[in-house]
Chain A
């Protein structure tokens, strides 16, 4: 049954093709069933494949399937072939599972939109491309999925194409990520030139053989791959596209810009961990980038007014945690945070979508409030999501994953203490901005009257995700709390286990966990203090003055947009202002010269026959004279 693997990406693709060609002729109900059904069957297939995979699991760590040879010429052999191991199975499970829930949710959320079929077509295409990305056996096929998800992201951000700003946001997302993709592609060129192969496993085993740790080429390739990952995962310095990407419909933000696509960078680095292990300096860079991004994004999230932008910045910040974990070599911790994050962030986005839906597409949190009683389902699920994101201890999944990351940072031999403190501060900020949202949106007086609780198709996924956001964390619990290691045992077959500093013991782990708990609770408490209506400082902070320079700086994501505008965008527009070809000017000049010469010569053409006769005579005489000489 494991040979059904190829069906997993093909099923959503079939859905896409059906919707693309016959979408116009299907009823809404049929569209939704095709759209959700294709992803749902993919999820079921995943379950079947996974069952088969686990049957033989520890003995046979990976499963390889080649459909056909994609490129097979002149020393290059690349197949359309799938590679299933613990890591990709995890990704596939998340993509199909969360993807299915979001599809179901969208069936109701998008119900009144003109482009219903188009929406599901794009979403199905996205799922297919994302599955290709994670299942790819070779880097070229991975690149196919990589670009494919980029395209779908572009299409879905610009889904409401009549708004020019949305189009700009979509283009921005595609172009910024394309810069990363290009670096990634150059990395592929180098790897292929060196190892005559693009198979992920082969390349890495050859790299380990050929390159010593810290060798130049390994560093260069790792940096190039990192740029690619940074672009996709919206990390510094290519993070600017993600907040604008919120222009797309909310389920898109949930699926693409929270749960799956933006974590592709994490997947890439984890997938290429042998390579990154050869470049320890690059790993440090990853850790620092992750830390800086998580702090910048978290601080920006605190002051955003648009509910989706808050979540966008929080996504950047959470992916920053994953990068941090990758940077310190805690591969499994990063993936664990990916798992919990995709549950609670998808939940948060969907719940936010539910809020937006019932408030008639109002996204400004200052125009919300008091929704607790009107939208109880939404409130409770949102609360669970926010709690998980802030890492409320013991009961939420976010706590276990974040704790694991911070513990790894604390105990890793390739980390520094200040990184840990930074991450801890980030955890505090996470609590602050998560609960700022809760208090702003669900407490206080009602500013916009909601239309009422959404229907079953939207509530169902919310509840399932809320359940997951609470329970997924129990897959991995630290020594101090039960010592469950299901997740790390499972992933240890695909990723190396985290190294610990010598001499670290359980008591220090308990102390560290206490610090994380305190930080998260401190953040929540601060949020309550500052934003809970009726509390001490709320009146002073309620009419947050947004024109203060530091506030604008924070709201604009630390001014990166403006910086890039000055550095790249404006020079580029200056460069492309004139549609004229300078080389063509040269030829035109030649033509003008020829024309004027011709004009000058044509004065000799008087039209007088006698003049012509005379010139003939003179010419003849001159020729005769020439012969005479």
Chain B
């Protein structure tokens, strides 16, 4: 029941947040923060209890909840919490609070409705991270989309209609493909066993014809790649991130993008291990292209939010790269990167939004020399620029480097290419700092520095960045069993090998010594 509470708390709090507007301006905000905080605590409680790992089917679920729903179609209310979803739910609640704090001054109209939508979207996201019945998963997948759309179209900036429409079209198209594949899987299960099933564990045991598996895998892949996003499906992202209100952008970049990555890890890879093997180099190639292409475009931007948006695409490329590298190390890196990216882009968008709020422009050409005007903002921007360029000691570095270390064994050439992305990351991050905060001051208006609320928020993210950068174990040890299992599940792949181990090393030595005279 605890799992249901995780989903229901934000959803049930949503109408109260709406109504709260009648009482005071801040009531919706506090209701939303309270709901998310309770959610976060509950998740911590559920995740940290000493559970005996239930070996039901293929999931090593810490907590599981199974209620029948529509037995005729094999649909049940099946939720499961494991290390991966645990981490992501904590992240969701945290980023949600950050998004609300970031909108503290920006959102002044229809405050109640805004927070209602935020809570609904987050409830949907948590549902996505928990559902292990594919039908239920899809339900939540759609549930999180509609409030997001409304958030953009009601509170967005000048081009919001275009952006929200694009966002909706892309994500809906992806969802449609996903839906078709999910239904097809259930029907195939019916063919094989006589009754349809949407259950994760049942579908894992399903053996598919290679042709069929390939098509279904492609559908799952595309559905999640759109959300991630990876090229060539990424073009909705810059428009959307730019036009959405800051809070919504933080949720989009910090959490929604993770649902795509989560889908890849949870469904695409374990459900179709054989079919993936052919596609692994292509998908990893997409990751590489994404990293480099988006980095080049980020360097070309003059709009600060678009720059951050492209950098965000570039960072998501690491997730794609690591997810399909097939080594446990790379997968651990992916998890780390998911968390780190959520924190760093969340922070960057918060700051970019604060700049936009102050100067009513996003053009970096009209800024410059703001260090002396807004020192707090500038310092924090510098911090997050460093995080984004992968400075060691920050969580992003751990994520990126684990991915690179883990993938080098299988794809050395790609990793070398990706390394150029690291140089480009330096170029665009520092370029952003230079054009915005350094140099001569273009706009001599005096604007207020970061408010205490916003500064505290950013500082909190920064502390988390450093903490996870120096002590990533907090995340990694939680997800390690999940990733071990994932590698085992995908172990059928011929191209994949485990991270080098002591024994592997010594055999290597023996082989080499055999060669040398």
Contact = CB atoms under 8 A, between A and B. Distances in A.
A175 B426 contact: yes
A73 B332 contact: yes
Interface in B359-379: 369, 371-372, 375, 379
Contacts of B161: none
B26 interface: no
Contact of A196 (B386, B484, B504): B504
A20 B463 CA distance: 14
A151 B392 CA distance: 10
A140 interface: yes
A196 B502 contact: yes
Nearest to B379: A20
A75 B329 contact: yes
Contact of A74 (B232, B296, B375, B499): B499
B266 interface: no
B473 A210 contact: no
B504 A576 contact: no
A76 B426 contact: no
Interface in A549-580: 572, 575-579
B415 to A, nearest CB: 6
A529 interface: no
Contacts of A146: 392
A164 B329 CA distance: 42
B505 A576 contact: no
Interface string B282-305: 000000000000001101111100
Interface stretch (A409-417, A425-433, A531-539, A581-589): A581-589
A178 B422 contact: yes
A185 B508 contact: no
Interface in A119-150: 140, 143-144, 146-148
B513 to A, nearest CB: 8
B19 interface: no
B374 to A, nearest CB: 13
Interface in A174-229: 174-175, 178-179, 181-183, 185-186, 188-190, 192-196, 206, 209-212
Contacts, number: 172
B408 A70 contact: no
Contacts of B512: 210-212
B362 to A, nearest CB: 12
Interface in B412-443: 412, 415-416, 419-420, 422-423, 426-427, 430-431, 434, 437-441
A505 B431 CA distance: 57
A171 B430 contact: yes
Interface SS, A side:
helix
B509 interface: yes
Contacts of B420: 182
B329 A161 contact: no
B296 A575 contact: yes
A55 interface: no
Contacts of B375: 24
B509 A206 contact: yes
Contact of A73 (B234, B297, B329, B513): B329
A144 B408 contact: no
Main secondary structure of the interface of B (DSSP, over half): helix
A73 B439 contact: no
B15 to A, nearest CB: 36
B80 interface: no
A583 B231 contact: yes
B300 A189 contact: no
Given A182-B419, A193-B409, A209 B404 contact: no
B199 to A, nearest CB: 29
Given A74-B329, A161-B438, A189-B415, A179 B404 contact: no
Contacts of A73: 328-329, 332, 402, 472-473, 476-477, 480
A243 B440 CA distance: 23
A148 B393 contact: yes
Interface residues of A, number: 64
B419 A74 contact: no
A167 interface: yes
Nearest to B306: A579
B9 interface: no
Interface in A153-172: 154-155, 158, 161-164, 167-168, 170-171
Specify which of B297, B440, B477, B480 lies most central, judged by the most chain A CB atoms within 10 Å of its CB.
B297
A587 B422 CA distance: 28
Contact of A185 (B331, B419, B437, B477): B419
Given A76-B405, A175-B430, A196 B501 contact: yes
B423 A182 contact: yes
Nearest to B368: A164
B401 interface: yes
Interface string A106-126: 000000001000000000000
A167 B301 CA distance: 19
A182 B477 contact: no
Among A71, A212, A572, find the residue whose CB has the most chain B CB atoms closer than 10 A.
Answer: A71
A68 interface: yes
B235 interface: yes
Contacts of A80: 470
B437 A161 contact: yes
A70 B441 CA distance: 41
A174 B426 CA distance: 8
B483 interface: yes
Interface in A56-72: 68-72
A346 to B, nearest CB: 27
B300 A175 contact: no
A196 B405 CA distance: 10
A71 B328 CA distance: 14
B498 A75 contact: yes
A245 to B, nearest CB: 14
A195 B231 contact: no
Nearest to B294: A581
Contacts of A190: 408, 412
Given A73-B476, A193-B500, A587 B430 contact: no
B337 to A, nearest CB: 13
Contact of B508 (A74, A192, A194): A194
B238 interface: yes
B472 A70 contact: yes
Nearest to B510: A210
Contacts of A577: 300
B327 interface: yes
Contacts of B502: 196
A572 B406 CA distance: 30
A140 B392 contact: yes
Contacts of A576: 296-297, 299-300
Given A71-B398, A76-B499, A144-B392, A171 B234 contact: no
A192 B430 contact: no
A175 B483 CA distance: 35
Nearest to B484: A74
B302 A579 contact: yes
B232 A583 contact: yes
Most chain B CB inside 10 Å of its own CB: which residue of A72, A80, A575, A581:
A581
Contact of A175 (B419, B427, B470, B476): B427
Interface of B: 231-232, 234-235, 238, 296-297, 299-303, 306, 327-329, 331-332, 369, 371-372, 375, 379, 382, 386, 391-393, 398, 401-402, 404-406, 408-409, 412, 415-416, 419-420, 422-423, 426-427, 430-431, 434, 437-441, 470-473, 476-477, 480, 483-484, 498-502, 504-505, 508-509, 512-513, 516
16 contacts: A73-B476, A74-B327, A74-B406, A74-B483, A151-B391, A154-B430, A158-B438, A162-B439, A171-B431, A178-B426, A181-B422, A182-B422, A183-B419, A189-B405, A189-B408, A194-B505
Given A148-B391, A174-B430, 12 more contacts: A20-B379, A71-B476, A75-B498, A148-B392, A161-B438, A163-B439, A175-B423, A175-B430, A195-B505, A196-B501, A206-B505, A211-B512
Closest 7 CB pairs of A and B: A144-B392, A576-B300, A584-B235, A74-B328, A161-B438, A75-B499, A189-B408
